[in-house]
Chains A and B, each alone.
Chain A
Amino acid sequence: MVPEGIMALIQILLFPGFLFLIALAFFHEWVDRKLLAKLQNRYGPLYTGPAGLLQPFADFIKLLSKEDITPKAADKFMFSCAPLFMLSFPLLALFLIPVTGLTASISFEGDLIFLMFLFTLIAITIFIAGWSSVSRFSTVGGVRAAFQMLGYEIPMTLVMVGPAIAARTLSISQIVGWQTHNAAWFIWLQPIGFAIFVLCLLAELEFIPFDIPEAETEIVAGWFTEFSGRKLALIRLGKDVELVLAASLITSLFLGGPNSSLPILATGFFLLKTTLAVVLFTTLRALFARFRIDQMIAGAWKYLIPLAILQMVLIQLGFGRW
């Protein structure tokens, strides 16, 4: 009935594709801001849309309508490309995550490795954005982002490989399939791995304990000080989509993902679990003060990496395997 091509197009553009993901990004930013405000004994956005639901959308549209300034001294080409990369990498990565069933839109053996590569690319885009806008504050922010990547990249990769070894596959869809098949989520099988993964994702998202690259009190707005107007809108959307990516990664790797093949039920589970993951991120964000960059890297190398290796050893000994 409907030819194959159009179905694929709809899948990419509409349902589990751009529109759905961007709407989910706005929804998750709303959840994040409202919960953070509640934890800080405040209301948070109230008047734009029902209970402030459309606030992130309003911010995005307003930024689109603002004047877009490129500093004279900035490196023009990279300065305008960085926001585009910042948005496209997380969106691309999200196609690897199963949303409406046990298999994602794109799933091939080894897409977990491809995902890790995308994470590194995001960190490099942040560095390029900071470096190309040449403002003193953004250069410091960019360099700090690069340093922070050195800190969290290794433990994160080690811990992401945990479930892959247990499920003996390198494809996220199969990991989700394995978890639903054996009805055993990796959060119970590899708790240490889960904890480290959450911490590393916090660092990757630059949330409070690790928001060193954009530490407001030290370096104004960090690596994206110079961006304004459309570019800033794209960067903020990119960061929101990154939040969705982090939450959906936790869901698929550790919380069993959409563990049913029926599309409606699967999406329902997926939404529920990702929102739970965002709630977890926000609560952690509200409870900590910001670390110094050297403390963060020292902490990562002294504690996270040994723990990640311990987790790997445990899997080998058969604990995380079932």
Chain B
Amino acid sequence: MSYPTIRIPFGPQHPFHIEPEYFMFEVDGERVVSVKPRIGYVHRGIEKAIEDRTFIQNLYLIERICGICSHAHTTCYTQAIEEILGVEIPPRARFIRTIIAELERIHNHYLWLGLAAHEIGFETLFMYTWRDREIVMDLLELLSGNRVHYAMNTLGGVRRDITPEIVEKIRKGLDALEERMRYYKKIAMTEPTISKRANGIGILKPKDALALCAVGPTLRASGIKRDVRADDPYIAYSEIPFNVITYDRCDVISRLFVRCDEVFESVNIIRYAMEHLPEGKIRIKVPRRVPEGEAVSRVEAPRGELIHYAKTNGTTKPERYKVRSPTLGNIPSLCKMLVGGYIADIPIVIAGIDPCFSCTDRMAFVNVNNNKQWILSGEELRRYAIKWYRKE
């Protein structure tokens, strides 16, 4: 006889999930039958707010869509507006933007590794990775004055320059980061408990990944070689040699390896960019009023392809501005991965796509809120559900 399926809430307040997300799982026994993510908790209505702020004010707002990929958002935004203006930013600014983008990628992947370790209960690895993340936070603070929102980008170039001493400090920091990440990758490969909890979990076959339009490391972990930096090069990526990482095991552990190798790639990109840093200005004057036009700009954020669409009407305020963050692209694939898995795998599979609901939520998606409880008879749980989540 089959148990009645039980609805399992997962969120919105969760001890170690940074953002409020909320998944409704229909569960039959220990297996997940269907998933309905429901967010909307972080929807602030940014797109409406963008339309009544000037282009310079929008820089401040767009940077705060997401704490971890703030530089990716501003790069995408400045690129779109500069394309409409038909302005070419100086090469030194392009290289500095690339350096900050790669530092942000390293910062994101270290942060993700720690959170994933915490999801499967590996406290020590979480503490170690977040201790080493402080190295890259110090570098970013050295470069831009702030640990999280760097405010380096502005329309027409970059706000601060890189002096030779900073280059020297960055080089030392990079060596330490690379050496530590090699150590963590070795742990991830050899530690039996990690492979027990991440091997063969959350499978996403290449066919599904393509059909559900997955992006970033989630797509590359299913063996598909897609990276905006290589396919549709922007800022200085056309002048810097690097290779796109793919693994074809399609599970959480291969997403981990993709991110580990991407840190090594980012370190090489930064070293190459610092050696070939062109001289010259870092910013050019840009008119306040943007002519009428539209532009689509794409950026490889640490979590995947980030796309902005800008439409301007000749005034100092954009007519319409659309942001689609990488996490939203990965959520259909996430639902596909979760179905059929165990309840205990849910946190690590969700963490596998490195969800950033602050970006996503200015968008949204599939409805039905959710609850997390186990088998047993539905009656007692419903009695409590009324008290716990009045929304039900």
Residues in A neighbouring B17, C-beta threshold 8 A: 217
Determine the interface band of chain B, counting residues with CB < 8 A from chain A.
Answer: 35 or more
CB-CB contacts of B189-200 with A at 8 A, as 1s and 0s?
A: 001011011000
Stretch of A37-45, A59-67, A245-253, A255-263 lying at the B interface: A37-45
Q: Which of B131, B191, B371, B376 contacts A289 (CB 8 A)?
A: B191
- B196 adjacent to A291 (CB under 8 Å): yes
Task: Give the residue name and chain of the A residue nearest to B201 (CB).
Answer: A292
- A139 adjacent to B387 (CB under 8 Å): no
Residues in B neighbouring A212, C-beta threshold 8 A: 344
Residue A91 is within 8 A (CB to CB) of chain B in the complex: no
B247 CB to nearest chain A CB (Å)? 21
A74 CB to nearest chain B CB (Å)? 9
Residues in A neighbouring B375, C-beta threshold 8 A: 143
Docked pose: A42 CA to B90 CA in angstroms: 45
Residues in A neighbouring B371, C-beta threshold 8 A: 136
CB-CB contacts of A197-230 with B at 8 A, as 1s and 0s?
A: 0000000000011011001111111000000000
Q: Per DSSP, are chain A's interface residues mostly helix, strand or loop, or mixed?
A: loop
- B123 adjacent to A208 (CB under 8 Å): yes
Residue A7 is within 8 A (CB to CB) of chain B in the complex: no
- A295 adjacent to B196 (CB under 8 Å): yes
- A40 adjacent to B16 (CB under 8 Å): no
Residues in B neighbouring A293, C-beta threshold 8 A: 344
- B121 adjacent to A211 (CB under 8 Å): yes
Residue A71 is within 8 A (CB to CB) of chain B in the complex: yes
Task: Give the residue name and chain of the B residue nearest to A134 (CB).
Answer: B384
- A286 adjacent to B123 (CB under 8 Å): yes
Given contacts A134-B383, A208-B123, is CB(A289)–CB(B128) below 8 Å? no
Residue A288 is within 8 A (CB to CB) of chain B in the complex: yes
Docked pose: A208 CA to B123 CA in angstroms: 9
- A292 adjacent to B344 (CB under 8 Å): yes
Given contacts A289-B120, A292-B344, is CB(A40)–CB(B193) below 8 Å? no
Docked pose: A216 CA to B380 CA in angstroms: 23
Residues in A neighbouring B193, C-beta threshold 8 A: 209, 288-291
Residues in B neighbouring A40, C-beta threshold 8 A: 123-124, 127-128
- A136 adjacent to B121 (CB under 8 Å): no
Residue A157 is within 8 A (CB to CB) of chain B in the complex: no
Docked pose: A208 CA to B196 CA in angstroms: 15
Residue B168 is within 8 A (CB to CB) of chain A in the complex: no
Task: Give the residue name and chain of the B residue nearest to A71 (CB).
Answer: B387
- B197 adjacent to A289 (CB under 8 Å): yes
Q: Which of A72, A219, A290 contacts B372 (CB 8 A)?
A: A219
Task: Give the residue name and chain of the B residue nearest to A209 (CB).
Answer: B193
Residue A80 is within 8 A (CB to CB) of chain B in the complex: no
A143 CB to nearest chain B CB (Å)? 6
| CB under 8 Å from chain B, chain A span 119-174 | 134-137, 139-140, 143
Residue B47 is within 8 A (CB to CB) of chain A in the complex: no
Q: Which of A139, A211, A287 contacts B380 (CB 8 A)?
A: A139
Q: Which of A42, A209, A220, A289 contacts B127 (CB 8 A)?
A: A42
Task: Give the residue name and chain of the B residue nearest to A295 (CB).
Answer: B196
- A218 adjacent to B9 (CB under 8 Å): no
- B347 adjacent to A218 (CB under 8 Å): yes
Residues in A neighbouring B388, C-beta threshold 8 A: 135-136
A1 CB to nearest chain B CB (Å)? 54
B176 CB to nearest chain A CB (Å)? 15
- B387 adjacent to A72 (CB under 8 Å): yes
Residue B345 is within 8 A (CB to CB) of chain A in the complex: yes
Task: Give the residue name and chain of the A residue nearest to B117 (CB).
Answer: A289
Residues in B neighbouring A208, C-beta threshold 8 A: 121, 123
Residue A73 is within 8 A (CB to CB) of chain B in the complex: yes
- B347 adjacent to A217 (CB under 8 Å): yes
Residues in A neighbouring B8, C-beta threshold 8 A: 136
Most interface-central of A36, A218, A219, A286 (chain B CB within 10 A): A218
- B374 adjacent to A289 (CB under 8 Å): no
Residue B15 is within 8 A (CB to CB) of chain A in the complex: yes
Residue B362 is within 8 A (CB to CB) of chain A in the complex: no
Residue A294 is within 8 A (CB to CB) of chain B in the complex: yes
Docked pose: A195 CA to B130 CA in angstroms: 33
- A287 adjacent to B124 (CB under 8 Å): yes
A7 CB to nearest chain B CB (Å)? 46
Docked pose: A316 CA to B199 CA in angstroms: 41
- A218 adjacent to B376 (CB under 8 Å): no
Residue B133 is within 8 A (CB to CB) of chain A in the complex: no
Residues in A neighbouring B124, C-beta threshold 8 A: 39-40, 286-287
Residue B62 is within 8 A (CB to CB) of chain A in the complex: no
- B374 adjacent to A73 (CB under 8 Å): no
Residue B373 is within 8 A (CB to CB) of chain A in the complex: yes
- A136 adjacent to B343 (CB under 8 Å): no
- A292 adjacent to B197 (CB under 8 Å): yes
A135 CB to nearest chain B CB (Å)? 6
Residues in A neighbouring B381, C-beta threshold 8 A: 136, 139
A215 CB to nearest chain B CB (Å)? 7
- A139 adjacent to B121 (CB under 8 Å): no
- A292 adjacent to B345 (CB under 8 Å): yes
| CB under 8 Å from chain A, chain B span 96-118 | 117-118
Docked pose: A139 CA to B197 CA in angstroms: 23
| CB under 8 Å from chain B, chain A span 271-286 | 286
Q: Which of B15, B345, B383 contacts A220 (CB 8 A)?
A: B15
Q: Which of A71, A72, A217, A288 contacts B119 (CB 8 A)?
A: A217
- A136 adjacent to B372 (CB under 8 Å): yes
Task: Provide 6 A-B residue pairs closer than 8 Å at the C-beta atoms, listed in order of the A residue.
Answer: A136-B385, A216-B121, A217-B118, A217-B119, A290-B121, A291-B197
Known A139-B373, A217-B118, A220-B15; 4 more pairs at CB < 8 Å? A36-B123, A41-B131, A71-B384, A293-B344
Point out residues on B near A: beta carbons under 8 Å.
8-9, 14-17, 30, 117-125, 127-128, 131, 191, 193-194, 196-197, 342-347, 371-376, 380-381, 383-385, 387-388
